[in-house]
Amino acid sequence: MQSNTIIDSLPAPLNGIVIEVPAGTYRDFGASSDYPLKGVTYPVDYGYLPGYLGEDKADLDFFVGEAQDGLSGFIRVFRPDIENGETKFFTAATDTDINAIREAFKPVLLEYEIFQSGSKLLEAIKAFRAEKI
């Protein structure tokens, strides 16, 4: 399900992000009663970047806003099955988008960072590439 028009204008490999959860969609995590986040309504489009693997060994997660010259960075969220949490990147985001993402994931938010440039995002995702070059 690809609907975010910003994706095509992103540099490779980010222009390959696949949106699977459109903004405004509620997703129930079906988590156990002791997990602090039962579900979330995604404030921006959410998907994954094929060819890159997150700490959970699934495709690398991405939030994608709709700001042409938007901000990029990441949040790291608590997961009981992953020692240091899971990294979820964002791109094309406004300050409002980032605050909404942080608020939605507040019960499990471990840290976040806004990058000073898009090249910093490209550098950061290299560590997640499935096949190292």
CB-neighbour burial class of residue 20 (10 A; exposed 0-12, middle 13-18, buried 19+): middle
| Closest to 37 (Cα-Cα) out of 128, 114, 101, 90 | 101
Distances (CA, A) of 6 to 31, 82, 93: 32, 31, 10
Residue 87's SS3 state is strand
Distances (CA, A) of 56 to 22, 81, 91: 22, 8, 20
User: Is 70 inside a domain boundary?
Assistant: yes
User: Is 14 inside a domain boundary?
Assistant: yes
Res 33: pLDDT: 63
User: Is 69 inside a domain boundary?
Assistant: yes
User: Is 90 inside a domain boundary?
Assistant: yes
Strand order in the sheet with 45-53: 18-21, 45-53, 59-64, 82-93, 71-79, 109-114
Cβ atoms of 55 and 19 closer than 8 Å: no
User: Is 20 inside a domain boundary?
Assistant: yes
User: Is 67 inside a domain boundary?
Assistant: yes
Res 34: pLDDT: 67
d(CA 120, CA 126): 10
| Per-residue model confidence as pLDDT tens digits over 56-107 | 999 999 999 999 899 999 999 998 889 999 999 999 999 999 999 999 999 9
As for how many domains the chain has, the answer is 1
Range of the domain at 98: 7-25+40-125
Mean per-residue pLDDT, 27-37 = 76
User: Is 32 inside a domain boundary?
Assistant: no
User: Is 103 inside a domain boundary?
Assistant: yes
